[in-house]
Amino acid sequence: MKKIITYGSFDLFHEGHYNLLKRAKALGDKLIVGVTTEQFDIYRGKMNVVDSLMRRLDNVRNSGLADEIIVEDHDGQKIEDIQKHGIDIIVFGSDWTGKADYLNEYCQVVYFERTRDVSSTILRHERLGIVRLGIVGTGRIAERFMHESTFVSGVEVISVYNPRFESAKAFGDLHLLKQDSGEYEKFLENIDAVYIASPHETHYDYTRRTLIVGKHVLCEKPMVLTELEARELYTIASDNKVVLMEAVKTAYAPGFVNLLAIARGGRIGTIYDIEAAFTKLTPYKANTREYDPVVGGSFTELASYSLLPIVKLLGHEYKELEFESFYAPNGCDIYTRAHFRYDNAIATAKTGIGVKVKEACLSQELVVTF
Ligand code: CTP
């Protein structure tokens, strides 16, 4: 018996999917179809799959072409499946051409020409539209964001803003984006959302001006420098029914989300103490971004990370908070330890620039189970 396998999200099941399954089935006697889980899709950058896994499984089943349906949830599973099911041929659409050649070692790899002019992405865009994004700032982080955005569906970066037009132009030319000089409000006109990656002290103002005109904001950390500013911005966002998010990517990293799920699930016992540290060796240079005496310093720079596991696991209703810091000659903190006392737990968040916590790790829990 000749066995064929193929994989996909099969979101909003369409003609292209049907054609591929039909041709795949015609290659042998049994067709196995692997459908990706939501988590695996997010991991692959498909952030906006519409149909649930159950629905996608049903749609593949209803095509009447699959003899067996399995779920794909991790990298490397294709090799495991080929071996487990004794697969002879693995089939992909032509968008995969070359990318699955490594599987030739395990079975025959066949690429079929994709059906033209139809894809889940097109259907999703027709239904949901595409988020048109503008970037504020043109530095190293904006550069990295541009690169990452190419792996994320449903989003298109279309313009860039920097009050220094030459910088916006250089960035825009490099990434084929529209540049708007000078006027921030004009830059906001043709976009749905803004990613802010400008210097810390400008975050509040850009965020506020963006939310006020009803556009969503993803702002680099620290989003603001005071609690008052944060409260005001979240109120405006809520009044205007737009999303306001701080770009703390660790909060969404699958590893971190798993860690939280395990800790919250009680599987490792009751958590009495959390220690989290984020330190890095940035050479001291007075008044650079990191060492700015007003808006720099280790805690402003890095605390979003070390506070994350503490706030996520113990909440923000702490009873006491104490800080201890060491300072650079210009007065900015190079090392800070924040000690929290909760009703039934304690926690420490450490941050350092130019000071390194040996064997630092993002989160170490001291767990005692009775
Ligand atoms: N496929 C195809 N022709 C199309 C669309 C998809 O042959 N017009 C193939 C893909 O190459 C893949 C399989 O169908 O081998 C499952 O594809 P999937 O990624 O689920 O579908 P897409 O429509 O390509 O989804 P997306 O737009 O989200 O990438």
pLDDT per residue of the chain (370 residues) written in tens, 0 to 9: 999 999 999 999 999 999 999 999 999 999 999 999 998 998 887 878 999 999 999 999 999 999 999 999 999 999 999 999 999 999 999 999 999 999 999 999 999 999 999 999 889 888 888 899 999 999 999 999 999 888 887 888 999 999 998 999 999 999 999 876 678 999 999 999 999 999 999 999 999 999 999 999 999 999 999 999 999 999 999 999 999 999 998 998 878 988 999 998 888 899 999 999 999 999 998 878 889 988 999 999 999 999 999 999 999 999 999 999 999 999 999 999 999 999 999 999 999 999 988 764 544 444 443 4
| Residue that is written with structure tokens 């996909």 in the block | 8
92 in contact with ligand 1, CB cutoff 6 A: yes
Tell which residue, 278, 307, 295, has the closest CA to residue 331. Answer: 295
Residues 6+ apart with CB under 8 A from 229: 204
Radius of gyration (C-alpha) of the chain in whole angstroms: 25
Amino acid making up residue 227 = E
Alpha helices in the chain (DSSP H): 15-25, 38-43, 53-62, 77-85, 120-128, 140-149, 165-175, 184-188, 203-212, 227-239, 254-264, 298-314
SS3 93: strand
Omega within 30 of 0 (cis) for the link into 222: yes
Contacts by residues 101-105 (CB-CB < 8 Å, ≥ 24 positions apart): 103/78, 103/79
Q: Whose CA is nearest to atom 25 of ligand 1?
A: 120
> Whole-angstrom Cα distance, residue 156 to residue 188?
15
pTM over 0.85: no
Q: Whose CA is nearest to atom 18 of ligand 1?
A: 8
Q: Write the CA distances from 248 to 252, 286, 309, integer angstroms.
A: 8, 26, 12
> Whole-angstrom Cα distance, residue 22 to residue 10?
14
Atom of ligand 1 nearest to the CA of 36: 20
Which residues in 229-266 are b (16+ Cβ under 10 Å) and which e? bbebbeebbeeeebebebbbeebeeeebeebbeebeee
46 in contact with ligand 1, CB cutoff 6 A: yes
* Ligand 1 centroid, distance to 122 Cα (angstroms): 11
> Whole-angstrom Cα distance, residue 145 to residue 155?
12
Angle (CA) 184 186 188, round 5°: 75
Atom of ligand 1 nearest to the CA of 113: 7
Give the single-character DSSP code of 75: T
| Structure token pair of residue 48 | 């906006």
Tell me the helices (H) and strands (E) count for the chain, helix number first. Answer: 12, 16
34 in contact with ligand 1, CB cutoff 6 A: no
Q: Whose CA is nearest to atom 24 of ligand 1?
A: 119
Residues 6+ apart with CB under 8 A from 131: 154, 155, 156, 192, 193, 216
Question: With the CA atoms of 232, 235, 241 and 244 taken in that order, what torsion angle do they form, in degrees rounded to the nearest 10?
Answer: 50
Angle (CA) 10 12 15, round 5°: 75
Q: Is residue 262 within 8 Å of residue 297, measured between CB atoms?
A: no
Mutate to test the pocket of ligand 1, among 11, 20, 121 (most ligand atoms within 8 A of CB): 20
Atom of ligand 1 nearest to the CA of 21: 14
Q: What pLDDT, on the 0 to 100 scale, is given for residue 361?
A: 52
Q: What pLDDT, on the 0 to 100 scale, is given for residue 152?
A: 81
Tell which residue, 10, 57, 6, has the closest CA to residue 28. Answer: 6
